[in-house]
Structure 1
Amino acid sequence: MSDHAEAPVTPVEAHEPPYYLAVFTTVRTQEQSDYSETNARMEDLVKDIPGYLGMDHAQTPGGLGITVGYFRDADALTQWRTDAEHRAAQRRGRAEWYQSYTLHVAKVERSQGFTREVAQSPAAG
């Protein structure tokens, strides 16, 4: 079950490369005390970072969670990585909330998107 049910069901839009992404893949423990509140706080906090472009989330029924954060440049990603409140949440995650996790950081060299146009239905009459 995802903590991101209220999030729009659209991916972060494609941006002009280069930019950076951080892929955070997790398996959580049974101990989730204050996780939702801390997660919401981190989502609010990262939005204040100049160069933050957005975030996508997915959760499998089996418990694998994936969060992808998008950042305009390496400086924005570094600012997020070194934020004191974020660092405290990371420590708590290792101590309580995560059974395991991986973090992958990459520079995006190509980006594109697609959105299906919604067809207008003819008026009944």
Structure 2
Amino acid sequence: MSDHRMAPVSLPVAAHEPPYYAVVFTSVRSEAEGDDGYDRAAERLGELVKDIPGFLGEDAARTPGGLGVTVAYFRDLAGIEEWRRHQEHRAAKEYGREHWYERYSLHIARVEHSHGFERARG
């Protein structure tokens, strides 16, 4: 069994008042040598998406074997479309197809229910 305490973890995105949308991006990285700018691009895109109206946050995880899952949350479909058309995002997607990914899938789902839990610290 793995020790989850050793992995860097960010807090999950808080529950929001539904309805809203979840964009689920699941990817498998290519076996190319090195990072090839991936981490820098991911950080840059993570900052840019915050300026999209209706963006609520994102959760992301990657396994050592290269499987990644990112879930971005948006208030409405208009925000998703604006992000899809964003010039730097489009350029990164094109570069990713050529260099970073073996495959990926994208799913957009409407969130009908949302709640959260946080253990009380005492």
- Does the residue aligned with 1:68 lie in a helix, a strand or coil? strand
How is 1:52-91 mapped onto 2 (pairs within 5 angstroms)?
Answer: 52-91=55-94
One of 101, 105, 109 as aligned partner of 2:108: 105
For structure 1, which runs of at least 5 residues remain unmatched after alignment? 120-125
Alignment of 1:1-125 (within 5 A): 9-31=10-32, 32-119=35-122
Separation in structure 2 between the aligned mates of residue 15 and residue 106 of structure 1, nearest angstrom: 15
Query: Aligned partners of 1:51, 1:73: CA distance in 2, in Å?
Result: 6
State the 1:50 CA deviation. Answer: 1.1
Rounded to whole Å, the distance in 2 between the matches of 1:42 and 1:68 is: 14
* TM-score (norm. length: structure 2): 0.88
Residue type at the aligned position of 2:83: W
CA radius of gyration, larger in: 1
| Matched residue count | 114
Measured on the aligned residues, the alpha-carbon RMSD in Å equals 1.4
d(CA) in 2 for partners of 1:64, 1:35 = 14
Cα deviations by residue, 1:45-72 (Å, 9 ceiling, x for unpaired): 0001111000001112332110000001
- Partner residue in 2 for 1:122: none
1:30: how far off?
A: 2.5
Identity of aligned residues (%): 54
After TM superposition, the score normalised by the length of structure 1 is 0.86
